[in-house]
Amino acid sequence: MKQKLIFVWHVLIFNIIKPLPNSSDYFSHYFQLSTKNLYDHDSYYKRIVKFGKEQLGWVGVILANIALMFFCLPICFLADLAIHSIYLLSIKIAINGILALIMLGKFDMLRFRDNQCFLKLFYLFSCLLSSSYWTLTCLFLAAFENIVL
């Protein structure tokens, strides 16, 4: 139980410090994968989920996803409420822009190392154009990161 709580704690800490310059040192210190599961094109999200699976099995996958979505899902839900209840276009555009930046950072979409990044960017762009719900967008992107474990 203690190992699971420590794992979740490290994921939550990484969620907070990810935009900071030294976050890659923290990541490489606490989420070191074996060489058989390591791919250069994997996002941080996918690497953390793989680490959880490697260390704790499928319980680790579930805990990793819950911890990685701990801050993102409530923000997306509140943004959906705001977007669909506010009538000012400028505020809607600002909220959509902020959420798009959060998604770009959360799912490492700007690391153009493989075709998955382009697919995620295309999905995000189509969600922006169609005024999709951010909560669903976040969940679909998380599911996409979990497809190939």
Q: 114-143: per-residue pLDDT in tens?
A: 778 888 899 999 988 888 899 999 999 999
Burial of 79 (0-12, 13-18, 19+ CB in 10 A): buried
Span 56-69, average pLDDT? 92
CB 25 within 8 A of CB 44: no
| pLDDT tens-digit map of 76-86 | 999 999 998 99
- Cβ-Cβ contacts under 8 Å for 102 (sequence gap 6 or more): 72, 75
| pLDDT tens-digit map of 86-107 | 999 999 999 999 999 999 988 8
Q: Which candidate, 96, 91, 101, places its Cα nearest to that of 110?
A: 101
Burial of 145 (0-12, 13-18, 19+ CB in 10 A): buried
Largest CA distance in the chain: 51
